[in-house]
Amino acid sequence: MYDDIANNPQNPTKGVIINHPNGKDVYHGVPKDYTGNNVTPKNFINVLLGNKEEMRGIGSGKVLESGPDDNVFVFFTDHGAVGLVAFPSGVLYAKDLNETIAKMHAQQKYKQ
């Protein structure tokens, strides 16, 4: 997660995210493996491909460690554009994402 809301200067409740009036803090305790400048297309691809060495010293260093019997679900949200997924400081083009999924398939990183 880019993690740009909780400590944003415009947030009146620093370090807290409340998603409706009088609501509870939905930010506290949320695990964050990669935040801020570590949220890049390159790192996202490395995580999907399970490239531990490439992610050493970056964020949590966690990568996908799935195999041929695993179902992998990736949820990514952004504002939407044709042919790309937008990151805070870059874009991941559909061609590159498709190539990554094909590599994952060839390496038997998922069943579905």
Nearby residues of 100 by Cβ (< 8 Å), 6 or more positions away: 45, 48, 49
pLDDT at 80 over 90: no
Read off the pLDDT of residues 6-16 as tens digits, 9 standing for 90 and up. 999 999 999 99
- pTM here? 0.87
Contact between 34 and 74 under an 8 Å Cβ cutoff? The reply is no
Nearby residues of 35 by Cβ (< 8 Å), 6 or more positions away: 1, 2, 3, 59
3 state SS of 112: coil
What are the beta bridge partners of residue 25? 18
Higher pLDDT, residue 2 or 112: 112
Q: Which of 46, 59, 55 is nearest to 2 (CA)?
A: 59
